[in-house]
A = this chain, B = another copy of it.
Amino acid sequence: MNKNTFALRPPMGWNSYDYYDTTVNEEQVKKNADYMAARLKPFGWEYVVVDIQWYASRPGTMRDKFQYIPFSHLEMDEYSRLIPDPERFPSSAGGKGFGPLADYIHSLGLKFGIHIMRGIPRQAAHLHMAVLGTDASADQIADAHSICRWNPDMYGVQNTPEGQAYYNSLLELYASWGVDYIKCDDICNTNNQPYSPAYPGDPFAGKEEIAMLAKAIQHCGRPIVLSLSPGPALIQEAWYYEKYANMWRVTDDFWDRWDLLKDMFRRCQIWQNHVSPGCYPDCDMLPMGRIGKGFGQERDSRFTYEEQKTMMTLWCIFGSPLMLGAELTMLDEQTLSLLTNPHILALLPLPARQIRLTEDEAVWTAVNSETGERYLAFFNLSDEERTLSLSWKEFRDSAAQIPDCAPSRLLDLWSGQELPLSGQEISCLLPVHGCAAWKL
């Protein structure tokens, strides 16, 4: 299997983290899936992803002190593999794992994804538990010196035949459940947070486990999309992510703050040459709609409407995966309209390049190489209303193979309206943090 065929365009879906943190349960996942099937699927949205600590008992009950309670009980099978907490995921009882939930989601015409942490449970190592298909026990494949900086659940797995056997056994289990997508954490950049300053460390310490996971996916025979977290991914290792994974986070956790959104333009700048079918630099989840409940900060997104349009436009023209953070059942119509604009979503698979980035503005272009149609997007990054302009000469100088044109009509992607145009440049007044996007 060539992994680039697993996701021929940037994956679109929903992820439980932004609203539920560690606490999501089966009923909640199903309701979000139902909503997606009913309202979003026609526009390309298809993945339903259960995020972190679905294997933990009573997560979130010490939220003032810990996001992840150290040394707490984790549900495991006899082979050192984590399985769903049966209290929260009742259908998993009796060794069925996520199979029934995956079946339900598949029955809606959607795909099912789960989050995992790099490694093997610490508890399995200290209890010397078994590893399927080997004579080794967990303590013999765990690396007692390889820990996550921000989550206490796991030890890294040694790159040995027995270690590979463990990852193979994991993926066999997930494949048997019907998992379509794995978001593996503590692996893309193992140094992402200032949580434990004692270990600033090598940000690429999970490198070998990326390849081990990729091999385990090949071994299991199911085309499971591999998504790597957290960011920022290391630009100097771009070729490695592109060889083994389908998507990798270019940012630490992204939330509804303008400084983070503005900063994403800088990230897209350096990653713009690294988007291709099966290879997607990932701008992280879209914190739109209703979010934050599991974090004790339930709220409507702090982004303005203009900022949300800017976010959607950037993610789409750049070619990032689109993962909704919102509780879908609470989506308002305005937010829904931002997620279902076919003109904007049409940008998603097209190759694109940045033409300009300054402190105050950004300009991007994309092309449909089959039709030759060209697209332009303007972004106002300043804190004031601002008129952006681009001369056709600068546009032509910016990229090879742009014909010597001065178009006379534009299609405004957000409104769907056609506009007349004349002269040697295009110019547009944009609101604070706002954007415009056109097909030429």
Chain A residues within CB distance 8 Å of chain B: 1-2, 4-5, 70-71, 122-123, 125-126, 128, 139, 142, 144-147, 149-150, 152, 190, 195-202, 205, 218, 235-239, 242, 269-270, 272-274, 277-278, 354, 396-400, 402
Contacts and interface: CB of A to CB of B under 8 A. Distances in A.
A147 B270 CA distance: 27
A128 to B, nearest CB: 7
* Contact residues of A: prevailing secondary structure: mixed
Given A126-B126, A139-B70, A396-B2, A152 B145 contact: yes
24 contacts: A2-B396, A2-B399, A2-B402, A5-B400, A71-B125, A144-B152, A145-B149, A145-B150, A145-B152, A145-B196, A146-B196, A146-B198, A199-B199, A199-B202, A200-B200, A200-B201, A200-B202, A201-B201, A237-B270, A238-B273, A239-B269, A239-B273, A273-B274, A277-B400
Given A142-B71, A197-B202, A201-B198, A239 B190 contact: no
B239 A272 contact: yes
Nearest to A139: B71
A221 to B, nearest CB: 13
A232 to B, nearest CB: 11
Nearest to A156: B198
A6 to B, nearest CB: 11
With most chain B CB atoms within 10 A of its CB, the pick from A145, A147, A190 is A145
A228 to B, nearest CB: 17
A237 B235 CA distance: 9
Report the 10 A-B pairs with minimum CB-CB distance, sorted nearest first.
A198-B205, A144-B152, A71-B139, A199-B199, A70-B144, A145-B196, A235-B236, A4-B400, A126-B126, A199-B201
Contact of A239 (B147, B197, B270): B270
A71 B239 contact: no
Nearest to A138: B71
Contacts of A147: 144-145, 147
Nearest to A400: B4
A72 to B, nearest CB: 9
A201 B201 CA distance: 6
Nearest to A68: B144
Nearest to A238: B273
Contact of A70 (B1, B142, B278): B142
